[in-house]
Amino acid sequence: MLYSAVELLRERGSAGVTVDAVLARSGAPRGSVYHHFRGGRAEIMTESLALAGDAISAIIDKAVAQGSIAALRHFGQFWNTLLEQSGFEAGCPVVSVAVGSSPDDRHLQPAVADIIDRWRVALVTAIEADGVEPERAARLATMAIAAIEGAVILCRVNRSTTPLDDVIEELEVLLTSVIAG
């Protein structure tokens, strides 16, 4: 059910994650929701956000071990694959909660902030390891996350990976220049 909820977050945003939609997607019987998620939809949202955040964080952590530029390329390939495989229906489940949540989901905003900060810290660490001063590394990491997440949105709208490819290419040029000094 949690994987189904994450898929719904990617495709429909937080408003699209209802108990009925999760049940329809997962094929689970109605009683299983209340057996496994006594808090109902709120608990499903909390746990699916954590699952999505952990999964994307693991991808980022693995990628940054190869250096900041390799991480950008890897993350670009990850999103390109996901976008194309979903017919440009899937976006970032974490961002969907950040921008599309209802008043019932406001309690999730601190978790969203923590997840995005994990991504930022991982990128900062990789950029610093490439020899960039900490303050600049922090700004570059913030810019990279904002640019990539924005590009994913543009890819969905345009039904093309070109915006993401352009962003990754320009970020790579910038990072190469900064690292070279």
* Residue type present at position 149: E
- What pLDDT does 117 receive? 97
Query: CB of 98 within 8 A of CB of 179?
Result: no
CB atoms under 10 Å from CB of 71, counted, come to 23
Query: Which residue ranges form the domains of the chain, and what is each CATH number?
Result: 50-180 (1.10.357.10)
Identify the sign of the CA torsion 2, 3, 8, 13: positive
Average pLDDT over residues 62-69: 93
| Residue listed under structure tokens 């670009």 | 76
73-92 confidence digits (pLDDT tens): 999 999 999 999 999 999 99
Mean pLDDT, range 16-31, rounded to an integer: 92
pLDDT of residue 102: 79
Residue 152, both tokens:
């994913």
Residue 108: the pLDDT is 95
Record the pTM. 0.91
For residue range 151-175, what is the model confidence (pLDDT) as tens digits?
Answer: 999 999 999 999 999 999 999 999 9
d(CA 94, CA 76): 17
